Each structure stands twice: as structure tokens, then as C-alpha cells.
Amino acid sequence: MDARSVGNRAAWNQAYREQLQYFGGLPADDTLVAEEYELLRGILAARPLVVHPQSGNGEDDIALVRAGARAVIGVDYSEVAVSEAQGRAARLGVACRYVMGAVPGVPLRDGCADLVYTGKGALIWMPDIDAWAAEMARLVRPGGHLFLYEGHPATELWTWDLDKPRIRSDRDYFGRSFVCDDFSFPAHGAVMWQWNLGRTVTAVVDAGFEVRHLAEYPEPFWRMGEVDAAAFRGRLPNAFSLLARAPQR
């Protein structure tokens, strides 16, 4: 990992420690949204083995198993997140296993996943979107799927003003990176990378996937402190989903 990625890992470890101290443990809520259930229903009905790169605290993994996945392997570079997520999975008796690893460089064999599930704040931590897409392609078996439910790249432009939507003067849709402010998670000076929607889709296609579905949504997948900003009220893009298939060989 480069220096900024090392710094980001330290920021995430610190943020998770603070979260655990404040809440006393990781949550076990159902975090899949309705669009995810709809798009993944047929795939999950086949009881796939799911790999979840950048699994974070692992909430989505529990939901995926309950929705039909045979098992989920979560991968994250935060040892705090991996340890706590594994402990929670053991307490709940769900088929989730966690390993330490960065993306790219996931310590799993080629073609091990029927479904690679990722997103919800994953892409903004990737300094190289093409390397990320190539790693997703490496993990998926022929005929398997990649599913991404992610914050829309434009959402980083919106202010949290309540009266009407505005664009932040310090953000650029085509910018390269910016420092995570103290009102975002994980804070602690973490560096985010900005990948616009066209660049993301092109990286997925260039990695060999066939895009089956792409949609944009006005509702953000996550709100800091449940804030009800004007930008979140149906007029602007705040999330997107992408479902792609690895070709049969």
C-alpha cells in the first residue's frame, strides 16, 4: 500500500475503536436496501458463495446470509473491523468468515466467488480504479457476478443545507482526491479518491465484465447523523447500483 492507503487504514482502525467504545459492539441490523434485494434475489436463491471486499464492520454480510447466501467471506484491511466482525458472526452463528487483506491483493484464490458484493463507501478508498476492477474480475468465477451498490460520485458535491441543494465550493466532480472532513466517517484525515460514474463503468467493462444493470437513486445509502439535507429529497443522485457478469469461458 502507498503512504495514503496506510494512513487510511490507521484512520479506519481508530474510527472503529471509537465506534466500539461508544456503542459497546458492532450492530447486527439488516442493512441491505430494497433495491439490493430486488436485484440480487435470483442470484441469492442459488445459494452463492459471496466474497465481500472492503467488508468493514460486516453488517451487509449477515443480511446476505439471511437472504440466501451459502456463506460470505469478508475482506478488510482494518484488523479492528475484521476481529470484531468475526466475533459477532460467531455470536450470531452466521456463516461469515473474515480475513485481513487490501484491495488489490485479496488473499483468496482466483475464481473463488459466485458473487462479489461490494460498495457502500468502498470505491472512495481505491487509489486505482482499474486495479480494483481487475481484482474483482480475478475473484469471480466464470459466469459469476459482481454487484456494486455505492454512493453516487456526485453526492460528495452536495452541501447539507436544509433549505435547498447547493454545491460545495471545495469539491470537484472530476477531481482526483480530497481529505475526509471531521463530519464524515472515518475522519482522522483519511484521503478519499473521486471516481466519476463513467470512469467506474468503463473500468468494470475493461476488466472483462458484461454490465447487466446500472441505475441511479436519489436516496443516499448512508446519512451522517441521519441528517435530512435538501440534496437528499429526491432531486439529485446520491447512490447507484451496478450488476455485471463475468463471461463464461
Query: Residue 8's pLDDT is what?
Result: 78
pLDDT in tens, 157-188: 999 899 999 999 988 999 888 887 766 777 67
The distance between the two most distant Cα atoms of the chain, rounded to a whole number of Å, is 53
Query: Residue 4's pLDDT is what?
Result: 78
Please determine, for residue 27, whether its predicted confidence score (pLDDT) is greater than 80.
no
Q: Quick one: which of 104, 96, 62, 56 has its CA closest to 76?
A: 56
Mean pLDDT computed over 208-234? 90
- Under 8 Å between Cβ of 168 and 184: no
Please determine, for residue 147, whether its predicted confidence score (pLDDT) is greater than 90.
yes
Query: Residue 33's pLDDT is what?
Result: 92
Non-local (6+) Cβ contacts of 227 within 8 A are 160
- Under 8 Å between Cβ of 150 and 143: no
3-state secondary structure of 92: helix
pLDDT in tens, 91-124: 999 999 999 999 999 999 999 999 999 999 999 9
